[in-house]
């Protein structure tokens, strides 16, 4: 397999760089590529990291995962892009600095021809063209806010004009199987309306799902730092995904210890918001369960006097506390995982 300057052969690990655009200063802008090609044929799995430049964990997971599988007997190919957003990595920022865009909102966009696509979209188009050409599965590694319990976002699958219900069921079942194999707690994507509002159909995972490629998004703890226990769980999770795809013979020796026990599916939900500005004192931690009506935070003055208490009106798990303690009116306080009242399989009009 050839990707940029990486050229693999059966039984070899090849590294190189794929040029995504030219910089005004005369150098090419390149993403690193690591291709692990098995002796035997089999599926092609893409693993991508650090599309948000302040999320180094994905890159480190890929480094450790390649070390783990490089001497394994492998059927198929693993294509890794440790850093999808080199400009964001340089500046330790979520976005790229070309236009300050979030790179993970530009996949699978068909240009309307009115305005030429900006450079970040061109970069995403060039990367996605390679991914779409041969990916049998895509794992887009991310992290969330600094105080985050690790989990995997499982996207919803639509059927309708573009896809039969039978095909959608098949894609959903494969997706469920791979996400379960990865092993982190599973949280379904936001409600369908909110997914569209937030342009999440144009994340790498969203675009891949639209193209029939099973894809999911692990959130590997907090941004800026690599949390070693989460990193290890992700490396084991990747091995277990390959095992489920019959690409390696053994599952990972150790299983993840991260759990959000629930008797129904969970979905992402940003809640509660504060209607009072001030300094937030949290009463809860990521990974904990809260019941509807529980006070989760106090809003105080800088002198420490209580101004308000903020309660949740949904039960669920706390996935993340928001960063910073100074809050304005209607700022969100928590990312939660609440019981999902919507289906993982949707008609496109839903
Ligand atoms: Zn991210």
149 shares its domain with 219 = yes
289 and 187, same domain (yes or no):
no
Cα 199 to averaged position of ligand 1 atoms, centre (Å): 14
Task: Please check whether residue 348 lies inside any domain of the structure.
Answer: no
* Maximum C-alpha span of the chain: 66
Interatomic CA distance for residues 200 and 238, integer angstroms: 23
Q: What is the pLDDT of residue 159?
A: 95
347 inside domain: no
269-297: pLDDT as tens digits: 999 999 999 999 999 999 999 999 999 99
CATH number at residue 270: 2.40.50.100
Alpha-helix runs per DSSP H in the chain: 57-69, 86-91, 119-134, 165-182, 192-197, 204-210, 228-244
User: Ligand 1 center to residue 142 CA distance, Å?
Assistant: 4
Which residues, at least 6 apart from 249, have a Cβ–Cβ distance to it below 8 Å? 73, 243
Q: Indicate whether 259 belongs to any domain.
A: no
Q: What is d(CA 223, CA 16) in angstroms, rounded to the nearest whole number?
A: 26
Residue 251 lies in a domain: no
CA 222 / ligand 1 centre spacing (Å): 10
pLDDT beyond 80 at 78: yes
Q: Are residues 284 and 135 in the same domain?
A: no
Same domain, 21 and 124: yes
Please tell me whether residue 9 adopts helix, strand or coil conformation: coil
CA 140/CA 145 separation, integer angstroms:
17
3-state secondary structure of 173: helix
Q: Which residues contact 196 (CB under 8 A, 6 or more apart)?
A: none
Residue-number span of the structural domain to which 288 is assigned: 266-339
Task: Quote the ligand 1 centre to 223 CA distance (angstroms).
Answer: 8
- Residue 138 pairs with which residues in a beta bridge? 46, 215
Q: Is residue 203 part of a domain?
A: yes
Model pLDDT, residue 111:
67
- Same domain as 236, residue 305: no
**What's the mean pLDDT when you consider all of the chain?**
96
Ligand 1 centroid–CA 49 distance in Å is 9
Cβ(75)–Cβ(111) below 8 Å: no
**Ligand 1 centroid to residue 166 C-alpha, Å:** 32
pLDDT in tens, 293-325: 999 999 999 999 999 999 999 999 999 999 999
The rounded Å distance from CA 141 to ligand 1 centre is 7
Is pLDDT of 93 > 90?
A: yes
* Residue 40 alpha carbon to ligand 1 centre in Å: 33
Boundary-marking domain end, from 178, 213, 244: 244
| Strand bridging mode 137-140 / 147-148 | unpaired
Residue 257 in any domain: the answer is no
pTM, 2 dp = 0.97
Question: How many folded domains does the chain comprise?
Answer: 2
Q: How far is the CA of 219 from the centre of ligand 1 (A)?
A: 7
Question: Cα angle vertex 45, ends 41, 50, to 5°?
Answer: 150
Asked if residues 106 and 84 have their Cβ atoms less than 8 Å apart, the reply is: no
Is the domain of 42 the same as that of 87? yes
- Average pLDDT estimate for 1-20: 97
Q: Which of the listed residues 244, 277, 308 is the one where a domain comes to its end? A: 244
Residue 62 has a pLDDT of: 98
Q: Could you tell me the CATH number of the domain that includes residue 136?
A: 3.40.630.10
Report DSSP state, residue 202.
Answer: G
- Give mean pLDDT, residues 78-93: 98
Render pLDDT for 191-200 as a digit per residue (tens, 0 to 9): 999 999 998 9
The band of 112, judged by pLDDT with boundaries at 50, 70 and 90, is low
What is the distance in A from the centroid of ligand 1 to the CA of 161? 31
Q: Give the Cα separation of 98 and 92 in Å (integer).
A: 14
Report cis status (omega within 30 of 0) of the bond before 272.
Answer: yes
3-class DSSP string for 105-125: HCCCCCCCCCCCCCHHHHHHH
């Amino acid at each position: 397999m050839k990707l940029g300057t990486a050229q693999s052969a059966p039984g070899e690990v090849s590294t190189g760089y794929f040029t995504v655009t030219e910089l005004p200063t005369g150098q090419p802008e390149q993403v690193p590529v690591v291709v692990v090609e098995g002796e035997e044929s089999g599926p092609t799995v893409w693993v991508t990291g650090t599309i948000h430049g302040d999320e180094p964990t994905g890159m480190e997971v890929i480094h450790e995962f390649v070390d783990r599988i490089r001497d394994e007997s492998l059927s198929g190919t693993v294509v890794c892009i440790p850093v999808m957003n080199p400009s964001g990595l340089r500046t330790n920022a979520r976005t790229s600095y070309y236009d300050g865009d979030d790179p993970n909102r530009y996949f699978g966009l068909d240009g309307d021809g009115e305005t030429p696509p900006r450079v970040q979209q061109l970069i995403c188009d060039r990367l996605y063209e390679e991914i779409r050409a041969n990916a049998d599965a895509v794992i887009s590694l991310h992290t969330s806010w600094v105080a985050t319990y690790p989990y995997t976002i499982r996207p919803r699958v639509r059927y309708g004009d573009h896809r039969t219900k039978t095909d959608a069921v098949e894609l959903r079942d494969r997706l469920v199987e791979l996400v379960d194999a990865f092993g982190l707690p599973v949280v379904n994507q936001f409600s369908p309306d909110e997914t569209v509002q937030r342009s999440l159909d144009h994340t790498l995972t969203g675009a891949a799902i639209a193209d029939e490629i099973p894809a999911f998004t692990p959130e590997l703890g907090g941004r800026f730092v690599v949390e070693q226990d989460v990193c290890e769980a992700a490396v084991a999770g990747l091995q277990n995904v390959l095992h489920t795809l019959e690409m390696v013979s053994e599952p990972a020796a150790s299983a993840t210890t991260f759990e959000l026990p629930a008797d129904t599916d969970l979905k992402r939900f940003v809640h509660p918001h504060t209607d009072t500005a001030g300094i937030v004192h949290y009463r809860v931690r990521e990974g904990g369960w809260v019941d509807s009506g529980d006070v989760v935070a106090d809003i105080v003055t800088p002198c420490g006097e209580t101004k308000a208490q903020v309660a949740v009106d949904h039960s669920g798990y706390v996935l993340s506390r928001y960063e910073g303690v100074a809050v304005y009116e209607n700022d969100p306080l928590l990312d939660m995982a609440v019981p999902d009242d919507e289906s993982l399989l949707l008609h496109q009009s839903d």
